[in-house]
């Protein structure tokens, strides 16, 4: 079997993996970034919305920004409309073209000095004395031992890398959102706002969305709770019903399917010689399902910490825990708040959701962040949301 050696091997070329690879390469490390699919960014498994905080990590580029939105319209089960807009907005701001965006991030990693390979899948971890020392990979039918001081699992919601290292990455159905999405054209919608639709008839334990993609096209999708998803209650069926009622004459030009982890942060995202980033580490807001920026932020931190570990020749879990503490300090509180809110709201009946939407109708919330929205809801519905207030305060 062929053998190769690197300082770092990153498994998965999504935003988390590519930014980790880029950052580590910028520190002068010998980095290999592998992607099992034949094309980076394909298939798309994302609604593609992101806040303008992305500008902290990359300069906006019209090549991968399809639309810029002013805010979000949220609709209760009875159709009550809540307008959310302001200078600071989480999860909305830009709608990306992930096929191009993910390739851009991988090319940035390559320009920084990382080697990038597609159609290369990891199928196990090389272990020595309890440490991850690389991965077993297969490409074009050929097996290779890829040795590395640090293995980075950026392999998404399924994260086999974490499981191989003994990290508990399995998700309960209640902690997964099962999603279906159409790219639709020739439809009428609000090009200036992302839109969200709540209700058990529309999307049980989830929501529907319409994200502008430019001109008369939009991502129209549905996410439902994994614990209510079965053969008789499929996300695709809810999506088809949603489309029939709102865009009966629209044209479907692409279909996308996937799952989003809504469990909140993983208990531990490091092991001896190994780090998990992005969806693999459950770095996703459980209330909104947004995770692109958290993935990129985690990637920057991971690349920096790995560089220090290589310099010190120390790849122990204890040394790599700097990554864990830094990402939790940076955005762990947001994820924990989102988890508490998700667990509370997903159990509310439609009548209560209508009451909450009606309490915000006509109110302009300037800061569209999860916490700001929750605090405004609590202020206007203190009795109904007493339990949520106790969890957050």
SS3 347: coil
Quickly tell me which residue has 């394909």 as its tokens: 42
Among 141-155, 343-357, 368-382, name the most confident range. Answer: 141-155
Average pLDDT along the chain: 92
Query: Is the model's pLDDT at 110 over the cut of 90?
Result: yes
The predicted structure's pLDDT at residue 86: 63
Query: Cβ contacts of residue 309 below 8 Å, gap of 6+?
Result: 149, 150, 315, 319, 320
Per-residue pLDDT tens for 209-242? Answer: 999 998 899 999 999 999 999 988 999 999 999 9
35 token code pair: 């992607």
> Confidence class of residue 91 from pLDDT cuts 50, 70 and 90?
low
> Confidence class of residue 366 from pLDDT cuts 50, 70 and 90?
low
Quickly tell me which residue has 């971890």 as its tokens: 125
Quickly tell me which residue has 């459980």 as its tokens: 286
> Confidence class of residue 46 from pLDDT cuts 50, 70 and 90?
confident
Comparing CA positions, the residue from 175, 174, 173, 155 lying closest to residue 165 is 155
**CA-based angle 39:236:195, to the nearest 5?**
85
> Confidence class of residue 368 from pLDDT cuts 50, 70 and 90?
low
Query: Is the model's pLDDT at 365 over the cut of 90?
Result: no
CATH architecture classification, 2-44+98-172+264-342? 3-Layer(bba) Sandwich (3.50)
The predicted structure's pLDDT at residue 87: 58
Cβ atoms of 316 and 275 closer than 8 Å: no
Terminal-residue alpha carbon distance, the chain: 56
> Confidence class of residue 184 from pLDDT cuts 50, 70 and 90?
very high
* Domain boundary assignment for the chain: 2-44+98-172+264-342
In what helix (H) or strand (E) does residue 235 lie, and over which residues does it extend? helix 235-246
> Confidence class of residue 367 from pLDDT cuts 50, 70 and 90?
low
Q: What percent of the chain has pLDDT over 70?
A: 96
DSSP letters of 98-139?
HHHHHHHHHHHHHHHT-EEESSEEEEEEEEETTEEEEEEEEE
The predicted structure's pLDDT at residue 392: 75
The Cα–Cα gap between 247 and 329 comes to 43
The predicted structure's pLDDT at residue 373: 79
């Amino acid at each position: 079997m062929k053998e190769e050696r690197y300082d770092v091997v990153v498994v998965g070329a999504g935003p988390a993996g590519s930014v980790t690879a880029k950052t580590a390469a910028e520190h002068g490390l010998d980095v290999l970034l592998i992607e099992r699919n034949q094309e980076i960014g394909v298939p798309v498994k994302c609604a593609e919305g992101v806040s303008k905080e992305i500008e902290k990590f990359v300069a906006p580029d019209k090549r991968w920004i399809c639309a810029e939105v002013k805010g979000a319209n949220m609709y209760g089960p009875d159709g009550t409309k809540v307008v959310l807009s302001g200078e600071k907005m989480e999860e909305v701001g830009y709608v990306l073209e992930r096929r191009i965006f993910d390739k851009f991030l991988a090319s940035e990693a390559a320009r920084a000095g990382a080697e990038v390979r597609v159609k290369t899948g990891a199928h196990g971890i090389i272990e020595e004395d309890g440490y991850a020392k690389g991965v077993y990979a297969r490409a074009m039918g050929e097996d290779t031992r890829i040795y590395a001081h640090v293995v980075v699992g950026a392999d998404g919601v399924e994260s086999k890398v974490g499981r191989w290292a003994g990290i508990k990455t399995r998700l309960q159905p209640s902690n997964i959102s099962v999603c279906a999405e159409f790219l639709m054209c020739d439809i009428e919608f609000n090009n200036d706002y992302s839109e969200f639709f709540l209700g058990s008839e529309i999307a049980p334990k989830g929501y529907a969305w319409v994200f502008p993609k430019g001109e008369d096209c939009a991502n129209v999708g549905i996410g439902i709770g994994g614990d209510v998803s079965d053969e008789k209650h499929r996300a695709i069926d809810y999506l088809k019903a949603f489309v029939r009622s709102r865009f009966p004459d629209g044209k479907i030009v692409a279909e996308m399917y996937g799952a989003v982890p809504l469990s909140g942060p993983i208990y531990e995202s490091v092991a001896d010689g190994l780090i998990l980033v992005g969806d693999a580490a459950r770095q996703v807001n459980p209330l909104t399902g947004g995770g692109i920026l958290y993935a990129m932020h985690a990637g920057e931190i991971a690349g920096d910490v790995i560089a220090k570990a290589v310099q010190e020749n120390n790849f122990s879990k204890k040394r790599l825990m700097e990554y864990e503490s830094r990402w939790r300090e940076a955005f762990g509180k947001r994820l924990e708040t989102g988890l508490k809110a998700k667990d509370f709201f997903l159990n509310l009946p439609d009548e209560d959701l209508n009451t909450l939407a009606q309490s915000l109708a006509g109110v302009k919330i300037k800061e569209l962040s999860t916490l700001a929205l929750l605090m405004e809801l609590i202020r206007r519905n203190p009795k109904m949301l007493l339990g949520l207030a106790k969890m957050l305060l």
